[in-house]
């Protein structure tokens, strides 16, 4: 069992079909397969990459990522995806943590790669272009003398295929180990629920180093024999033009993308070929989903999952779409709501979402204790708080760690954020708890205003106080230009908390200096 089998099969049945479109370049399944096999043989023969070795991919959304990924897994080696926005120290940590033996990158990203003395396990550095650095091997020169293709590695379903590092909301990032079986089961579940077929053309600007882009879109596209329309990043005008020019049929985005599109005029014609819309990675505001449906007469189907679940876990929905829900478990997967002691909770009661199935990770790389903290008799504890309705639909409330305790009362930030976004001047909002000497914590909101739409702190606090319990309403509102996000679009509340701490510390230092 090998995720590479997807490419091999698509090459056999659809050799002349475009597998990837990147700008003006089209790559057929035959070309993709041949390039992958040549690179795979080179990695084995010239770089001594063997089954189980870790190979780091420090690559943006370019065809070289796809070539490299499949070349690595073909050998039974493990693809370690690196965020292209990482700087040298961040890269150093993950390269040492994963003990990657080889790294593939671009000339533009090479300057962030640590020196050899800082990453002793890293034996080989390959660059996709001309590299002005000692010890770096240009990939094209290596491939020019490539050895004949070697047989693919036949590995078991439990063999590791990929390591993707969590965004590190608390502490250092952890490497999530996904097996061949994890990836393959999730790809087939994706096909089942999205009805993806070989005639589909999927646009992908979401980062391939993230599980959403890598497995849900790239691997699913190759397995279906579909066409992947690849872009390095999300540029609205470029993406809209590409959808029209390439007759895209499936569109995937995080909620902020749909919010941005709703501000653009004249989208109806460019989007006419799109038969399917999907969102994940962050909660979809009900108002955005509703406005999209009203404007385009199309549902944005919603998925839920985490890197630890490959990532797909639940889907809204094959039969009846329910606004505000993340749906019910995908095929072969179970989900339930439990209390802190692990007891099952009845419908409507809030508790932690847990997941069990072939999509659940093997564990965190070389972190048995941290793995044990999130696994309970085969069930993965997500850290997300949710509830179910009478028909088994799941509703995501918030992250357990984000819950705010105001004088003993629980405040879930998402409820307040959804309310703030109903204000006509608010484009986006994020809510955190900040220390308070009287109530333990106070609610603070960060708001991004729509262009040309003014609002005051008092106006927003009063807007909330008249619509929800007073203790839930923000006591403080700070207006900012943009919310910090990770590459998948998830709001980084740890950065908002750090911002708050820095302000408090600066005020404290100023006060101390004034008192001297």
Query: Domains, the chain, ranges and CATH?
Result: 4-178 (3.40.50.12780), 403-515 (3.30.300.30)
Residue 168 in this model has a pLDDT that exceeds 70: no
Tell me the pLDDT band of 169, cut-offs 50, 70 and 90: very low
Residue 512 in this model has a pLDDT that exceeds 50: no
Exposure of 238 in the CB half-sphere (CA atoms within 13 A): 13
Average pLDDT for 314-323: 96
The pLDDT of residue 436: 86
Strands 175-179 and 363-364: antiparallel
Bridge partners of residue 336, in order along the sequence: 354
Average pLDDT for 280-307: 94
| Cα–Cα dist 4/431, whole Å | 43
Both tokens of 379, joined, read 């069930």
Average pLDDT for 103-113: 96
Average pLDDT for 425-430: 95
Residue 99 in this model has a pLDDT that exceeds 90: yes
Residue 195 in this model has a pLDDT that exceeds 50: yes
For the stretch 109-120, pLDDT in tens is: 999 999 999 999
Residue 160 in this model has a pLDDT that exceeds 80: yes
- Which pTM does this prediction carry? 0.86
Average pLDDT for 416-444: 92
Residue 355 in this model has a pLDDT that exceeds 80: yes
The pLDDT of residue 149: 77
The residue written with tokens 């097996």 in the block is 179
> Pick the residue with more confidence: 199 or 490?
199
Residue 292 in this model has a pLDDT that exceeds 80: yes
The pLDDT of residue 410: 82
Buried residues in 352-383 as b, exposed as e (16+ CB within 10 A): bbbbbbbbbbbbbbeeeeebeebbeeebbbbb
The pLDDT of residue 146: 67
The pLDDT of residue 401: 85
For the stretch 206-239, pLDDT in tens is: 999 999 999 999 999 999 999 999 999 999 999 9
Inter-CA distances, 471 with 220, 345, 360, 417, 456, Å: 45, 26, 38, 14, 20
Structural contact between residues 59 and 106, judged by C-beta atoms closer than 8 angstroms: yes
**DSSP structure class, residue 34:** H
| Cα–Cα dist 293/78, whole Å | 41
**DSSP structure class, residue 363:** E
Structural contact between residues 457 and 468, judged by C-beta atoms closer than 8 angstroms: no
Average pLDDT for 374-378: 95
Average pLDDT for 263-285: 94
Torsions phi, psi for 460 (to 5 deg): -75, -40
Tell me the pLDDT band of 281, cut-offs 50, 70 and 90: confident
User: What is the percent of the chain where pLDDT is above 70?
Assistant: 97
Average pLDDT for 457-478: 94
How much is the mean pLDDT over the chain?
93
Radius of gyration of the chain (CA): 24
Inter-CA distances, 323 with 147, 227, 277, 301, 334, Å: 55, 30, 15, 10, 21
Of the candidate ranges 119-133, 211-225, 296-310, 476-490, the one whose mean pLDDT is the lowest = 476-490
Both tokens of 478, joined, read 């700070």
The residue written with tokens 């749906």 in the block is 327
* Residue 195 neighbours by CB under 8 Å, 6+ apart: 276
Average pLDDT for 61-65: 98
| Cα–Cα dist 367/365, whole Å | 5
* Residue 490 neighbours by CB under 8 Å, 6+ apart: 167, 254, 281, 282
Residue 508 in this model has a pLDDT that exceeds 70: no
């Amino acid at each position: 069992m090998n995720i590479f089998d997807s490419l091999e099969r698509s090459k056999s049945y659809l050799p002349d079909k475009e597998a990837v479109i990147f700008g003006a370049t089209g790559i057929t399944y035959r070309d993709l397969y041949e390039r992958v096999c040549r690179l795979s043989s080179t990695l084995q023969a010239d770089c001594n990459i063997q089954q189980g070795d870790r190979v780091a991919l420090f690559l943006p959304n370019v065809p070289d990522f796809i070539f490299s990924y499949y070349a690595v897994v073909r050998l039974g080696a493990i693809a370690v995806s690196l965020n292209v926005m990482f700087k040298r120290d961040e890269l150093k940590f993950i390269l040492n943590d994963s003990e990657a033996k080889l790294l593939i990158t671009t000339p533009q990203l090479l300057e962030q790669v640590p020196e050899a003395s800082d990453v002793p396990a890293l034996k080989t550095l390959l660059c996709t272009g001309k590299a002005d650095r000692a010890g770096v091997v240009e990939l094209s020169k290596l491939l020019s003398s490539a050895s004949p293709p070697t047989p693919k590695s036949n590995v078991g379903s439990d063999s590791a295929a990929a390591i993707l590092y969590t965004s590190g909301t608390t502490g250092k990032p952890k490497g999530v180990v996904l097996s061949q079986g994890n990836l393959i089961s999730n790809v087939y579940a994706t096909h089942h629920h999205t009805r993806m077929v070989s005639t589909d053309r999927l646009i992908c600007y979401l980062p391939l180093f993230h599980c959403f882009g890598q497995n849900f879109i790239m691997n699913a596209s190759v397995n279906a024999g579909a066409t992947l329309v690849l872009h390095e990043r999300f540029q609205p005008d470029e993406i809209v033009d590409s959808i029209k020019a390439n007759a895209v049929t499936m569109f995937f985005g995080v909620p902020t993308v749909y919010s941005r599109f709703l501000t653009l005029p004249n989208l109806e014609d460019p989007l006419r070929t799109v038969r399917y819309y999907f969102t994940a990675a962050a909660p979809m505001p009900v108002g955005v989903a509703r406005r999209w449906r009203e404007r385009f007469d199309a549902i944005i189907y919603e998925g839920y999952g985490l890197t630890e679940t490959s990532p797909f876990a639940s889907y809204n929905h094959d039969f009846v779409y329910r606004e505000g829900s993340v749906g019910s478990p995908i095929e072969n997967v179970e989900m339930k709501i439990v209390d802190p002691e692990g007891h099952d909770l009845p419908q409507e009661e809030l508790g932690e979402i847990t997941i069990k199935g072939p999509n659940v990770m093997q564990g965190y790389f070389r972190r048995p204790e941290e793995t044990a903290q999130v696994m309970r008799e085969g069930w993965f504890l997500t850290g997300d708080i949710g509830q179910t309705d009478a028909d088994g639909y799941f509703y995501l409330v918030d992250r357990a760690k984000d819950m705010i305790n105001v004088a003993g009362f629980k405040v879930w930030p998402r409820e307040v954020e959804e309310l703030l976004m109903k204000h006509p001047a608010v484009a986006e909002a994020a809510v955190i708890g900040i220390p308070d000497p009287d109530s333990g914590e106070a609610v603070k909101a960060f708001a991004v205003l729509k262009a040309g739409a003014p609002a005051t702190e008092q106006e927003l606090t009063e807007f909330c106080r008249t619509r929800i319990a007073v203790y839930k309403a923000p006591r403080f509102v700070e207006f900012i230009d943009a919310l910090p996000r990770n590459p998948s679009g998830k709001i980084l509340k740890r950065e908002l908390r750090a911002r708050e701490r820095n302000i408090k510390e600066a005020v404290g230092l100023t006060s101390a200096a004034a008192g001297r």
